[in-house]
Amino acid sequence: MKKLYKNFDIKAFLDDEGVEYWEHGKNVGKDYIGIQCVFPTCTDTSNHLGINLKHKGFKCLACEETGSLSVLLKQILHIKSIWYDFIPLLQKYQLDDYYIEDKPKKKKRKKSKILPPEFEYLKKKKLPPLVYNMLRDRKLSLRIIKKYSLGWCQFGDYPLHLIAPIFYNDEIVSYMAMDLTGKTSPKYQICPNDVSHIIKDDILYGVDGLSKDMEQLFICEGLVDKWKLGKEAIAFFGKRFTANQLYSITERVSPKTIVKIILDSDAKKEADILSLNLPAYFKNIFVVSLKKGDPANLSKKEISRIKEVEA
């Protein structure tokens, strides 16, 4: 039972129940996540109820309600008793021994020589405020940090820049630097050609995620667009494209894949040109026109609707 408690994936449970949680912020301590208090007598309108990610106990800083995981689950599920199906519920949401003390230590990732000397891999638990604020403002999940091996530089040629490594066949071949202060121009800088293993005009961001069994593929412009659209998207890093970029797509994607071009709202002409220049290899190609902004501004519901639309 103790192991079931420790390995209970409280985040997955909260996601399924539609309960919003905070992993950082004023009221969230180390090894805790915060939610709005679920007890009816509490006046909390923020995230004062803290849940410990190790032992799963909770305490509300507003009403001082405290208790075990079972008490919390019972309150969230609105049931009087949970014991009859408590163990099956715990078993349903199990982590892969993430908090077991005897778990082998993870090997440190080796930094590619291509990356700037000042590059540091980001860690979810120790995010610099500038990075955390950017992700929050863009409504991006913290999961992208590990998924895309994101890092940042405090000093050097890219001071206070997010660094997104670019992979090709599981190797870092280049990177994109993104200013986090709003004071540097241009905001995005690509790795110089004399350092990169692929010239910048031929780079595709997310190409390793392409596969022959993909049902649809999104073609977008930038980093955040790609992160928002997910694994089904690739980015050109701009509105222009090269023949080599298009050829790289056909190498990895089936002709049956539905291709959806979704550029920024000011790039309708470029999107139409791209649709005409895509190889005849693809059978289904169409342009998704945005009224304003770019894919990075789309909500989850808007993205889901676009993904459901068939060509």
- Which residues lie closer than 8 Å to 27 by C-beta, 6 or more apart? 34, 46, 47, 48, 50, 61
Q: Residue 107: what pLDDT?
A: 55
Whole-number Cα distances in Å, 53 to 5, 38, 47, 133, 181: 10, 18, 15, 23, 32
CA 50/CA 58 separation, integer angstroms: 5
The residue behind tokens 């909260």 is 14
Q: Which residues contact 126 (CB under 8 A, 6 or more apart)?
A: none
Give the pLDDT of residue 110.
63
Q: How many CB atoms lie within 10 A of CB 231?
A: 14
Q: Are 256 and 216 in contact (CB under 8 A)?
A: no
- In this prediction the pTM is 0.64
pLDDT of 159-173, one tens digit each? 999 999 999 988 999
pLDDT per residue over 214-262, tens digit each? 999 999 999 999 999 998 999 998 888 888 888 888 889 999 999 999 9
Segment 75-86 mean pLDDT: 71
Average pLDDT score over the chain: 87
Query: Using one digit for the tens of pLDDT, what is the confidence trace for 113-139?
Result: 899 999 999 998 889 999 999 999 988
The pLDDT value recorded for residue 29 is: 86
Q: Are 198 and 167 in contact (CB under 8 A)?
A: no
Q: CA-CA distance, 161 to 92, in Å (whole number)?
A: 40
**CATH 1.10.3470 is held by the domain 2-92:** no
Domain ranges of the chain: 2-92, 120-200, 207-308
Query: Could you tell me which CATH number the domain at 207-308 has?
Result: 3.40.1360.10
The CATH homologous superfamily of the domain defined by 120-200: DNA primase, catalytic core, N-terminal domain (3.90.980.10)
The answer on pLDDT for 279 being more than 80 is no
pLDDT at position 100? 42
